[in-house]
Amino acid sequence: MRSAVEGRQGEAALLREAALMCRVRGHAHVLPLLNFGLDHNMRAFVETPIAPHGSIKDLLDSLEFEGRLADFGDAHVEQVLAQVRLALAHVHAAGMRHCDVAARNALVFSFSSQPPAVEVKLCDFGSARALRPREAMEGVDGLEAELRELLK
Which CATH number belongs to the domain containing residue 20 in this structure?
Answer: 1.10.510.10
Domain containing residue 33: 2-150
Q: What is the pLDDT of residues 88-110, one digit of tens each?
A: 999 999 999 999 999 999 999 99
pLDDT of amino acid 125: 93
pTM summary value? 0.89
Query: What b/e sequence results for 19-40 when a residue is b if at least 16 CB atoms lie within 10 Å of its CB, and e otherwise?
Result: ebbeebeebebbbebeebeeee
Question: Residue 2's pLDDT band (boundaries 50, 70, 90)?
Answer: low
Distance, CA of 130 to CA of 150 (rounded, Å): 31
Q: How many domains does the chain have?
A: 1
pLDDT of amino acid 6: 59
pLDDT, average across residues 70-74: 95
